[in-house]
Homo-oligomer: A and B are copies of this chain.
Amino acid sequence: MRDSAKARQIIDAAIRVFARDGYFNSRVSDIAREAGIASGTIYLYFRTKDEILVTLFREKMAGWVALARRELRGEPDAVAKIRRLVALHFSVLERDPELAEVVQVELRQGQKFFRGAAADEVAAYFDLIASVLEEGIAAGQFRADLPVKVATKMLFGAMDQMATSWVLGKRRYRLSETADAVAAILLRGVASHGV
């Protein structure tokens, strides 16, 4: 549980195993073997198998949000931030295909992703998107009457489905290359006038 090299080692092993076999088909002993430790050792760092998945996700998602926040800070306005956000969303997943498999496919089990322990991190990401939209509205770049909550979900959903389709299509193309097109459509959708 405590931050530790061993915990990270376990999480990294879990990502590989979950990506390969799926969460339900993976045994704790598989993760242990992949990590090169005894299965009992895992329970010194995680209370349950489920907690591995949740922790995995929380850590990755928290890092993701932090990264996004940092990156967006450098962008001049909401439009640029949306473009950056899409590019980042895609490149993070593209850079780590095993993580992508786990996040887009395995993590959607039951209610673990949007509900569950990871809900805070997802909410933070939603908040980040919403804040960019608010900023755009304030700056007059986005429609004044834009329903922000709705638009936030739609933006996330659109990006998420792009990622899911890419993963399920065995990543046969470069996800990043679609970023501009995606951002363009999203921006037109929310813009106060033609962009």
Contacts and interface: CB of A to CB of B under 8 A. Distances in A.
Interface string A180-193: 01100110111101
A130 interface: no
Nearest to A25: B110
Q: What secondary structure prevails in chain A residues at the interface with B? A: helix
Contacts of A194: 193-194
Interface in A31-65: none
Contacts of A157: 157-162, 164
B185 A162 contact: no
A147 to B, nearest CB: 5
A110 B24 contact: yes
A80 interface: no
Interface in A127-162: 146-147, 150-151, 153-162
13 contacts: A105-B110, A105-B111, A115-B168, A146-B185, A150-B181, A150-B182, A154-B158, A155-B158, A157-B164, A158-B158, A160-B161, A185-B189, A188-B191
Interface of A: 22-24, 105-106, 108-111, 114-115, 146-147, 150-151, 153-162, 164-165, 168, 178, 181-182, 185-186, 188-191, 193-194
